[in-house]
């Protein structure tokens, strides 16, 4: 975890348990790791999306859940959502394979969307913007993080 994220979590009293593991670049890869399988809670992923008006979104959902992009487009009232490029990820200090809801600390311009299923879980696991670690985070700490951000954010059923 980078120092900026560690400092942010400490400054906002957001608790977590840090788990280190070999680098994983996909949900399929992480599902084969015995170390990752043992991490408590709902295993999650984050998608980095861009709309037709140039707005960026971080979307957190269960690791094995498929996002209904058309439904999300209707909800957001946008015509086209697509995955952000490596270059666009880099503008927000993010890298492919390491995208996380915690990337929202790098820019107030990113909209954070968390799936209701993730929000209602007692414990969730997300990368801390690097794919060699997973943060185990309890609901109350996820809520503290979510509410600490200046970003536009929302919980929706995806």
Residues 75-109 have pLDDT tens digits of: 999 999 999 999 999 999 898 888 999 999 999 99
The pLDDT of residue 27 is above 80: no
| pLDDT of 29 higher than 80 | no
- Residue 34: pLDDT above 80? no
Does CATH place domain 3-156 in 3.90.79.10?
A: no
Domain boundaries, the chain: 3-156
Which is it for strands 133-138 and 110-115: parallel, antiparallel or unpaired? Answer: unpaired
pLDDT digits (tens, 9 = 90+) for 114-156: 999 999 999 999 999 999 999 999 999 999 999 999 999 999 9
Give dist(CA 74, CA 70) in Å, integer. 6
* pLDDT of amino acid 37: 80
* Range 147-152, long-range pairs (CB < 8 A, 24+ positions): 148/12, 148/14, 149/104, 149/105, 149/108, 149/112, 150/108, 151/104, 151/107, 151/108, 151/109, 151/110, 151/111, 151/112, 152/111, 152/112
Distance CA 39, CA 56 (A): 29
């Amino acid at each position: 975890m980078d120092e900026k994220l560690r400092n942010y979590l400490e400054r906002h009293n957001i608790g977590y348990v840090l788990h280190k593991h070999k680098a994983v670049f996909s949900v399929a890869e992480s599902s084969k790791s015995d170390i990752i399988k043992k991490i408590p809670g709902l295993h999650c992923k984050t998608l980095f999306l861009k709309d037709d008006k140039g707005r960026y979104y971080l979307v957190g959902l269960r690791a094995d859940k498929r996002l209904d992009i058309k439904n999300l487009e209707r909800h957001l009232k946008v015509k086209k959502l697509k995955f952000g490029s490596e270059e666009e990820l880099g503008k927000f200090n993010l890298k492919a394979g390491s995208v996380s809801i915690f990337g929202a600390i790098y820019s107030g311009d990113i909209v954070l969307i968390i799936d209701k299923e993730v929000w209602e879980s007692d414990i969730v696991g997300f990368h801390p913007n690097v794919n060699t670690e997973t943060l185990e985070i309890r609901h109350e700490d996820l809520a503290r993080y979510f509410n600490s951000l200046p970003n536009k954010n929302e919980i929706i059923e995806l």
